Structure formats: C-alpha cells, structure tokens
Amino acid sequence: MIEVDVGLDLKSFKLDVAFGDGEGITALFGPSGCGKSLTLGVIAGLRRPDRGYVRLDGRPLVDVEQGVFEPPHRRRIGVVFQDANLFPHLSVRQNLLYGRWFAPKGAERLGFDAAVETLGITKLLDRQPARLSGGERQRVGIGRALLSCPKLLLFDEPLAALDMSRKLEIMPLIERIRDEFHIPMVYVSHAVEEVVRLASRVVVLQNGKVKKIGTPNEAFGADAALEDDRFERASALKAVVGREDPVYGLTELKHPPGSIWVAGAVRPAGRAVNISVRASDVILAVEQPKGLSPRNTLAGAVLTIEADGGPTVTISHRARRRRAACRDGDAQGGRRTRSEVRESWSSP
Ligand code: ADP
Ligand code: MG
C-alpha cells in the first residue's frame, strides 16, 4: 500500500500530487512533461520533495515535516525504466543477481529460476547486454527489479522504446507479475492501451497536478471531461479469453455484448483481460455493414452527441447485451449472432 502526498518546486515546474494505490496496478498517465517521472523519482528516493510524505505499508520512506528520508537502496522498491539500464560489463545472470543483492536477508526470496522462466530469459543468462535486443533487455530489467524482492515495483514507460510486437510480448509478462506475484505497482505511461490493459486505477496528471483519479473508464471513457483531448478517448472493456482461430491467426475475447476478435494469440483461454477500444477506431453504421474489412461488429445505441462548435463531434455509444452471449458467456453460432445484430439495428 503506497500513500503519496508530495510537493516539489523546480522553479520552472511545480509538482503537487497526492494519491494512494488500491488493488493491482496504479497508472500515472498524462502528456509528456506533466510530472510522471518526477513523481516516480520522489517515490523511489531519487529526488527529495520539498513537502509531504511517501508511505509504503504505513512506513514513511520520506516525510519532510518529520525529517525522514530513507535512501533509495533501503526502500525495497524495484524500478524499471524505459531503457533497462543494465550494467554493460555484467552478463545477464550477473545483472539479475545484482538485483537480488538488495533483497534483505530473511526476506521471502523469489526463486531465481522461477523469475527467469516467467520472463522467458533462460537462454540469455550468459549473454552480455550489448548482445540483447531491446525487448530482451527490458525482460532482464524487469527480472532484476523482481529479484530484489521489492515491496513496490515502479515502471517508467517501460515499453515506450519498443516496437508493437515487442510490446505485445512484454505486456503479458507484466500482467503475469501483477497476477502471480501480487506486488503493488505504479506504472507510468502516456499510452492509453497500456494503461487500460494493465491498470485498475488511473491517476491522470496535468501540469504537475492530479487532474483525476478513477478507473480506466472514468479516465478515458465517455464521462471524461469534455475539455480532454478527444483523440485520447477510449472505452475499457473487460473480457475473457476464448477460442483461437488458427486459420486467420485470431483470438476471441468474450465480452457480453459480443465477442471481439483480435489478431495474434492471447493465452490462456479463460483468463480475464482488459481491452481498450479507441474512439477513433470505431466506425458507426446504421445497418449491418457489407463490403468493409472490420472484423468486429457490435449492435448498440447512440447515447449522446457532443458538439463543441468545431468540425467534429464526439458520439457515445453503448453496445447492447446479446442474450446468446450472456447465457453461457460463449459466442453461439454465427447465424444467431447476425440475426440478433440485425434485429437490434432495425429497432427504433
Ligand atoms: P514526464 O511526465 O514526461 O515524465 P517529468 O516528470 O520528467 O515529465 O518532468 C516534468 C517537468 O519537470 C518537465 O517540464 C521537466 O522539464 C521538468 N524537470 C524535470 N527535471 C527537472 C530538473 N532537474 N530541473 C528542472 N526542471 C525539471
Ligand atoms: Mg517521463
């Protein structure tokens, strides 16, 4: 449990943030320069705040008024940066063991083999960091942080420098760490899809201040304040991994109003996942579309149309719950799905 209430005055920039974490991952989200990394730096002990405190499980890591400042290496916090910052002269194995060196004696130790296995880096142990790809370096960086037996993990845009394929490989690892190791995490990102997929709470920062704290839907969905950048709007959906279609390389994500098929493999079946649907990726049609490439079609109703005098409007739309999908959570035969969708579209 982390509690943060700090201020920092850098003359050209003032930081003033307060939040606590709950279950799972807390995301710090906001545009470049809004104070995300400064906030992580204060939590990690890399920066001293001018006022306030950071508490971890009730223990003050820094408390300006009480004159408390725990040095970074004593905080039991693992940090993963955008660049994994591995020691170039040490092998992967030595880098990983270096993290473990910080685990206090008697601390419940995470097994080296278990961490290496989870992160898929068994074959890399004797390599030097210079001979790793960006994605591999990041896996090792995460492993090093994990093996220090942290009470809190901090991620500062860990995927920002990776291409989409590598991102899609690393995100499930972060989900596994979240679900299997139960270590609280604060995850900094300005990518909506990462935040929706990983986080249960979002702290939205703007100009060094907390603008909003809420679920991903509250932060990015239809209820997000109108002055928000509309291109950031997205819906956070909860789904369950379903079947795979090996012919087209798709995976079904079961969601009550209808299954959503995504490219690639998502495993294992039955696992709960969060997905983001960007508003700018949605196409509206008044009838079942024909001759178009979108593979996912959901029936629904327009709720609101927000116009601000500009050339575009923001439309909120609610997908209808399909009876067939709700009964057993599985997508029934395609014919039934199609007829229900048609029925919904033609209803007033
Ligand atoms: P981001 O949200 O992109 O991670 P940062 O937390 O790194 O943003 O930085 C927030 C603001 O603080 C930026 O305007 C940055 O220029 C400023 N800043 C960061 N470090 C310093 C510093 N050491 N001295 C003065 N200003 C700084
Ligand atoms: Mg930053």
CATH of the domain at 110: 3.40.50.300
Mutation to probe ligand 1, out of 11, 32, 38, 43 (largest number of atoms < 8 A from CB):
38
- Among 214, 238, 262, the domain-final residue is 214
Residue 225 covered by a domain: no
In a domain, 250, yes or no: yes
In whole angstroms, what is the distance from residue 207 CA to residue 15 CA? 8
Q: Are residues 202 and 301 in the same domain?
A: no
SS3 state at 161: coil
Residue minimizing CA distance to atom 11 of ligand 1: 33
Among all bound ligands, the one having the nearest atom to the CA of 33 is: 1
Tens-digit pLDDT profile for residues 156-168 = 999 998 998 889 8
Has residue 239 got a pLDDT over 90? yes
Q: Which of 10, 46, 82, 207 has most ligand 1 atoms within 8 Å of its beta carbon, as the pocket-test mutant?
A: 10
Query: Which residue lies with its CA nearest to atom 16 of ligand 1?
Result: 33
Tell whether 315 and 242 lie within a shared domain: yes
What are the phi and psi torsion angles at 194 (to 5°)? -65, -45
From the CA of 83, which ligand is nearest? 2
Average pLDDT over residues 242-255: 93
Quick: pLDDT tens for 116-146. 988 999 999 999 999 999 999 999 999 999 9
Percent of the chain surpassing pLDDT 70: 88
User: In terms of domains, do 272 and 332 share one?
Assistant: yes
| Average pLDDT taken over every residue of the chain | 85
Per the structure, the count of domains in the chain is 2
Q: Are residues 47 and 99 in the same domain?
A: yes
Would residue 346 count as lying in a domain? Answer: no
Ligand 1, atom 8, lies closest to the CA of 33
User: pTM score, two decimals?
Assistant: 0.82
| Centroid of ligand 2 to alpha carbon of 160 (angstroms) | 10
Residue in 14, 37, 39, 203 to alter for ligand 1 test, most ligand atoms within 8 A of Cβ = 37
Same domain, yes or no: 60 and 129: yes
Of the three residues 151, 180, 214, the one that is the final residue of a domain is 214
Residues 6+ apart with CB under 8 A from 259: 242, 252, 253, 296, 325, 331
Residues with CB under 5 A from ligand 2 (ion): 37
Domain that holds residue 272: 230-340
Based on the fold, state whether residues 174 and 320 are members of the same structural domain: no
Report the pLDDT averaged over residues 68-83: 93
Report the pLDDT value the prediction gives residue 344, as an integer from 0 to 100. 29
- Residue pLDDT, tens place only, 85-94: 899 999 999 9
Kindly report the protein residue whose alpha carbon is nearest to atom 18 of ligand 1. Answer: 13
Domain shared by 49 and 132, yes or no = yes
- Per-residue pLDDT, 258: 87
- 10-54 pLDDT per residue, tens: 989 999 999 997 778 999 999 899 999 999 999 999 999 999 999
Model pLDDT, residue 331: 30
Considering 13-17, 284-288, 328-332, the range whose residues carry the highest mean pLDDT is 13-17
192-208 pLDDT tens trace: 889 999 999 999 999 99
Say yes or no: 148 and 293 in one domain: no
107 shares a domain with 48: yes
> 196 and 326 share a domain?
no
CA of residue 100 relative to chain centroid, distance: 25
Of 214, 244, 275, the last residue of a domain is: 214
Please tell me the distance between residue 229's alpha carbon and the centre of ligand 1 in angstroms.
22
Centre of ligand 1 from the C-alpha of residue 10, in Å? 8
Q: In what order do the strands lie in the sheet with 2-9?
A: 68-69, 59-63, 51-56, 2-9, 14-20, 209-214, 199-206, 25-29, 185-189, 152-156, 77-80
Does residue 325 belong to any structural domain of this protein? yes
Q: Are residues 18 and 112 located together in one domain of the fold?
A: yes
Nearest to 142 by CA among 165, 172, 164: 172
As for ligand 1, residues whose beta carbon falls within 6 Å of it are 10, 12-13, 30, 32-38
* Claim to verify: residue 187 and residue 254 sit in the same structural domain: no
What local confidence, expressed as pLDDT, does residue 207 receive? 96
